[in-house]
A and B are shown apart, each in its own frame.
Chain A
């Protein structure tokens, strides 16, 4: 089974703090994603990476950055957390370029910024 592991399930951070959300996958997938989930809005893509050190902006990249130094690990960084970044963050991964390939999700990280 594919396993996507997000290191923190629940975090509480203060406004202005730098926040790191870590994600690891164990299936040698090329692609990794960070989504944000908010009620009534579904999932929105923040960033994705298709190879080590490669990244592409998603639909809502403002206020976020990412890092992929190793194939299995993809980090989401909030340089200066704000209250409007309180949300559920989901990491995901998939194999290769084929459009029918399944995307596998982690269990999510609940971030509250106070």
Chain B
């Protein structure tokens, strides 16, 4: 079965610093991977997704993620953090073939310090 692990439940960065949120997946077949963001008291919004077309995926709000098969990773990065990036971020993988739901990691809360 496919699953994802997010390393670090809380990450704190200074405004303008690099953001790196880690996600590792386990999958017996090439996975479809997603990053979602959740702002306080809101639902989840898609940031970006990997669907095997390109290993470097660019998303909204300046975020990008690189699919690395050798490392089974799909880490999310942003070169320069902004105060508005403070939110919770979830990595997700599409489950086994035939199931349409996503399996989510436990989430990483990003704090941005002024």
Contact = CB atoms under 8 A, between A and B. Distances in A.
Interface of A: 4, 31, 33, 35, 40-45, 48, 50, 56, 58, 90, 92, 94, 97, 99-108
B97 A58 contact: no
13 contacts: A33-B101, A40-B9, A42-B6, A42-B90, A43-B90, A56-B99, A90-B43, A99-B51, A99-B94, A100-B49, A100-B51, A105-B44, A107-B42
A40 B94 contact: no
Contact of A42 (B45, B46, B104): B104
Interface of B: 6, 9, 32, 34, 36, 41-46, 49, 51, 90, 92, 94, 97, 99-107
Nearest to B94: A99
A76 to B, nearest CB: 15
- Chief secondary structure at chain A's binding surface: strand
A31 B44 CA distance: 17
B100 A108 contact: no
A57 to B, nearest CB: 11
Contacts of B102: 43, 103
A69 B89 CA distance: 33
A58 to B, nearest CB: 7
Nearest to A59: B103
